């Protein structure tokens, strides 16, 4: 919500958007991996929706910037804030 608010205000939102993306994609991957685990061997079968969900969730960590790149954006923002002495 903060990233969207910053965008609406015309302020830079790169770090906030990266934080939101990393959180959402990593959490989605953990949830769908658990779903596949619960379904066992059937979880990887095309007959099970969990396999499609797994593929869809996995690609989100790659699509529009990998999680590693987003983490670098977040780290650069944090280091810049630290250097300026900003604690928000």
Catalytic site positions:
64
The candidate with the shortest Cα–Cα distance to 39, out of 30, 25, 51, is 51
Q: Which residues of 43-59 are buried (b: 16+ CB within 10 A; e: fewer)?
A: beeeebebbebbeebee
């Amino acid at each position: 919500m903060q990233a969207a608010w910053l965008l609406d205000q015309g302020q830079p939102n790169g770090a906030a958007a990266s934080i939101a993306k990393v959180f959402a994609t990593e959490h989605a991957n953990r949830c769908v991996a658990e779903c596949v685990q619960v379904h066992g061997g059937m979880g990887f079968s095309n007959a099970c929706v969990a396999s499609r969900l797994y593929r869809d969730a996995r690609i989100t960590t790659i699509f529009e910037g990998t999680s590693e790149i987003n983490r670098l954006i977040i780290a650069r923002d944090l280091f810049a804030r630290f250097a300026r002495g900003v604690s928000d």
